[in-house]
Copies of this chain bind each other. A is one copy, B any other.
Amino acid sequence: MIASAVELFRRQGYHATALSQVISESGAPRGSIYFHFPGGKEQLAVAAVALSAEEGDAVVGAASAGATDAAGFVRAMTAIVSKRLESSDFRAGCAIATMVLELAPDVEALRAEFDRVIAHWRAATAAQFEHYGYEPARATGLAALLLSTLEGALILARAARSLEPLQTAGEALIAMLEPPAIPRRRSRSGAAKT
């Protein structure tokens, strides 16, 4: 039920998503949504936003698995969101971006949850840049820049119904990456051992 809500909020946002649609898409019995979420759509949305933290972890994990340096990581992150966007016929962008723009900062319970999830994504992304040898402050900056770039390029790509903005912005960022200050560590496990 929460997974169905994540997909509906991602594709059409909060206001266009009716609880009845979540019920029909998930196949859950009608009463169960009110049993589990007596607070209604807003409470369901808080749960959906929390679930999308795990999705962010999965994206960062998948991108880092195939990457040996920051350029490869940025390229893989861009490729993962591009692939999902394209396979959804340009409907499935970020799980929470539409809701953030519809509801933040007015609905405080949701705003706090958006902020918590985004901070989590930023920390995971910054840790990855640190792993590639960037100083912590620089890794923090690169993480903010990469997540902003992907979120923004997903808007441009949906409007264009094309992956071109994602590819162009991603490659422009990769072209600017300076060498890390510290030699790259060989692997996560190797890094943990040193």
Question: Could you list which residues of chain A lie within 8 angstroms of chain B, going by C-beta atoms?
Answer: 12-13, 15-16, 89-91, 93-94, 96-98, 100-102, 104-106, 111, 114-115, 118-119, 138, 140-142, 144-145, 147-156, 158-161, 165, 168-169, 171-173, 175-178
**Could you tell me if A160 and B118 are in contact, using CB atoms closer than 8 angstroms?**
yes
Cβ contact of A152, chosen from B12, B141, B152, B168, cutoff 8 A: B152
Complex CA gap A155/B100 in Å reads: 7
Copy total for this chain:
2
Contact B159 A153 (CB under 8 A): no
Give the complex CA separation of A154 and B168 in angstroms.
Answer: 20
- B172→A144 contact, CB < 8 A: yes
Interface centre among A93, A96, A155 (most CB of B within 10 A): A155
Q: Please, which residues of chain B bring their CB within 8 A of the CB of A154?
A: 152
Contacting pair B118 A13 (CB below 8 A):
no
A165 touches B152 (CB 8 A): no
> Does A158 lie within 8 Å of B89, measured CB to CB?
no
Q: How far is the CA of A94 from the CA of B159 in the complex (A)?
A: 14
Which of B105, B141, B151 is close to A91, meaning CB atoms less than 8 Å apart?
B105
